[in-house]
Structure 1
C-alpha cells in the first residue's frame, strides 16, 4: 500500500496529548484483556537462538535480524519476528492448565516490511496464548474467543471516549464471521486484499477464517507459517477504517497446530526439514500443550481508537525522509 494522505485530515490531539492517550490505552487494555481472557503477564525474549526453531518465519521470505554474542560462541541469535512458538513452549514449561494463559509485550523488528500508513519495521503487540483441551480445538472455541476480544476492544472505545470524546473513533456493535473461501466465492475476480476491503466496509468489523491453505482457485488467501496456526482454525480481525478507506487488521490469531496438522502443513509448505528443530520435535512428540493464541497490535489499536491516519503517529520508528515531510504537511506528525 502506498502512502495515503487523507484530505482535510485533523489529528485532533496534539503530540503530547497523543502520547498521554497511548499510555492510557495500553495500560487499560492489557488489564481488561488479561482479566477477561484469564491471562497472566509474563516476560518474553527480544531474541532467540536460530537453532531453537522458536522464531516466527512469517511467510518464509522475511529476513530476521541476526547477530552473534561474544560470550556464547558458535551460536547465531535472531531478533524475534513474533513469539508464536515461544509462548506455547512457555505455557508447558510454566505448567499452565487448560483455561489458563499468558500475555506479554512483544517487540519485534521486521526489516523487510513495506513502510506505509499501516506497516512499520518495528512491531509492538500483545502476544497471548492460552491452554485448551484437545477436544476444544474447534470453530466454536475460536469464534467464542474472537467475540471476547471484540468485546474488550469495544469496551475500550467507551473508556477512551470518557477521556478523549473529541478524538475517539466509534466502532461497530458486532463482528461478522466469514471464511476465506466464502469470501473468494463472493468476489472471485478480486484480490484477497480487495475482498477484505469490500466485506469489512459492508460490516464494519469482520473475522476472516481459515487462512494459509489453498482455496478453490489453488491459491491461499494469505501466507501463514505452517508450524503454529492450524490453517483450518485461524483468522484475522479486521475493522473498517475510513481515514485510509481500507480494512485495518488488528489481530491475527488461531488455534495452534496439533501433531497431525503440523505434519500436514509442513509437507504442504515443503518445510519438513523443520521437524529436526527442538520446538518441532517436542510438538510432534506430544510434549507441548494444545493452545489458542495470537497477537493484538498495540500501535494499531491506538491508531484505530484515536482515529489516526498513520501508524507513525502512535509509535516511534524509522521512515523515509520524504514520507516524514509529506505527512507533516498533512498534519500527520510521525513520532
Structure 2
C-alpha cells in the first residue's frame, strides 16, 4: 500500500472517543450552539451563502493570489427558456458569463451590510462551502473549506486593535462555552485555556527566528495553549516573509489575525479562524501597491472601497470542520467532513484507527 500522507502526520495510537453516529449528533449540537451564539453575542443574522460569483467582478477572495490557489471557474450559458419549453439547442448564447466558485465571502458580506441597510452593531453570517483545488491535504486540510463567514458593521472610530481584541475575546468565549457544552452532553474532557494569549507576528518571529511559520505557531500554542496572532500580511521588519500572505482587498494587515490552538489529539497547531477589521481606502491602496496589484483599484468592489461607498466593518471565517475536529477530539478532518481522498489514504487512515467519511464506494 502506498502512503499518500507522511505517517508522522497521523496521530499515534488513535482511538475515536465517539462512535460514528455520536459524531453526527455532536456535530449538529456544536453547529446549533455556535450559530445561536453568533446571533446573540455578535448580533448577527443568518444569511444564505452564495456558491459562486461572476468572475470579472473581483468580489471573490483571491486568497494569497497564487496560481495554485485560484478559484475553480465554470461557464454559465444563461440561455433563457419559456415556461415548460426547452429552448432550441441552436439558440445563440448572448448572455453567457464566467463564474468562480466561492473562496470566501469576505468582500461580498461587506456589500451585503450596505444592501440590507444594517446599522452599526448589526451583521450577517453564512454557512459557506468552497473548493480549494490547489491545497495540499493533511489531517486538518482538505480541498473542501467550510466555515461560518461573518461580518459586523462598525464605526470608523472602532478600527483599532483594542476593538479587534474585544471581538476576539467574544469569539473565544463562544468556543470555550461550546467546549463546556460538549463536555456536559458527550463526556469529552475540556482542554482549552480559559483565556487566549495575544501575540504579534513580529513577536513570534523574534522569539523563534530559526523556525518556519508553522514551527513558530507550534511552539507558541505549546507554550500558551491558544493564541491570537496580531498583524498578518506585511513583511517582517527585518525584511523576511510575512507570517502569512493575505489578499490585499479585505483585511487591514495591521488590524487582523488568526486564532490558533493546540489540538489535543494531533499535538499540532490548529487554526480555527482568520478575522480582521476590513480595509479602508488608505489601507487598500497601500496593500494593493505593495502586492503590485494596482490594476484592481478600478474593479467594482475595490473602487467602491476607495470611494468610501461601503461601510466600515470587521469580519472573518470560523472553520466549521476545524472546530468540530477540536470539540469532538477527532484525529482527522475527514472524520467530520466529506472530502475527496485517494483510496490509498482511506486505507492508510484506516490502519491508523481513522475512519474517513467516504464520498464513494471503496
Same fold (TM over 0.5): yes
1:65 to 64, 72, 76: 72
Task: Say yes or no: does 1:155 pair with 2:162.
Answer: no
2:210 matched to which residue of 1? Answer: 189
For each residue in 1:175-204, what CA deviation from the matched residue of structure 2 results, as whole angstroms up to 9, or x when unmatched?
A: 000100011111111112111110111110
**CA gap 1:314/1:34 in 2 versus in 1, 3 angstroms:** same
Query: What aligned pairs does 1:207-286 form with structure 2 within 5 A after superposition?
Result: 207-218=228-239, 219-286=241-308
Structure 1: how far apart are the matches of 2:306 and 2:273?
Answer: 27
Shift of the alpha carbon at 1:102? 0.7
Equivalent pair of 1:168/1:307 in contact (CA under 8 Å):
no
Q: Distance in 2 between matches of 1:227 and 1:70?
A: 29
Q: Tell me the SS of whatever aligns to 1:244.
A: coil
Alignment counterpart, residue 45 of structure 1, candidates 44, 47, 50 = 50
Shift of residue 150, structure 1, vs aligned partner: 0.2
For 2:38 and 2:183, the matched residues in 1 are separated by 18
Give the Cα–Cα distance (whole angstroms) in 1 for the partners of residues 161 and 298 of structure 2.
Answer: 30
Pairwise CA distance, 1:71 = 1.1
Partner of 1:304: 326
Unaligned runs of 5+ in 2: 80-94, 358-362
Within 2, Cα distance between the matches of 1:112 and 1:207?
Answer: 26
How far the C-alpha of 1:168 sits from its partner, in A, is 4.5
RMSD: 1.2
> What's the secondary structure of 1:216's corresponding residue?
coil
> 8 Å contact 1:168–1:305 — kept in the other structure?
no
Q: Distance in 2 between matches of 1:160 and 1:182?
A: 34
| Preserved CA contact (<8 Å) 1:106 1:125 | yes
Q: CA deviation at 1:25?
A: 0.8
Task: Please give the residue correspondences for 1:124-203 in structure 2 after superposition, counting only pairs within 5 Å.
Answer: 124-165=146-187, 167-203=188-224
Q: TM (normalized to structure 1)?
A: 0.97
SS at match of 1:242: coil
User: For each residue in 1:36-67, what CA deviation from the matched residue of structure 2 results, as whole angstroms up to 9, or x when unmatched?
Assistant: 11111111210000111111000001121111
Instruction: Judge conservation of contact 2:325–2:331 (CA < 8 Å) in 1.
Output: yes
CA distance in 2, matches of 1:2, 1:214: 31
Bigger Rg, structure 1 or 2: 2
Which of 1, 8, 13 is matched with 2:13 structurally? Answer: 8
Could you list the structure 1 runs, at least 4 aligned residues long, displaced by more than 4 angstroms after superposition: none
**What is the CA–CA distance in structure 2 between the aligned matches of 1:115 and 1:267, rounded to whole Å?**
32
Aligned residue pair count: 334
The alignment status of 1:20 with 2:42, answered yes or no, reads no
Task: Show the counterpart of 1:100.
Answer: 122
- Partner residue of 1:320? 342
Distance 1:312 1:168 in 2: 22
Q: Distance in 2 between matches of 1:22 and 1:10?
A: 18
Aligned partners of 2:183 and 2:243: how far apart in 1?
35
1:100 to partner: Cα distance: 0.7
Secondary structure in structure 2 of the residue aligned to 1:232: strand
CA contact (8 A) 1:81 1:108 kept: yes
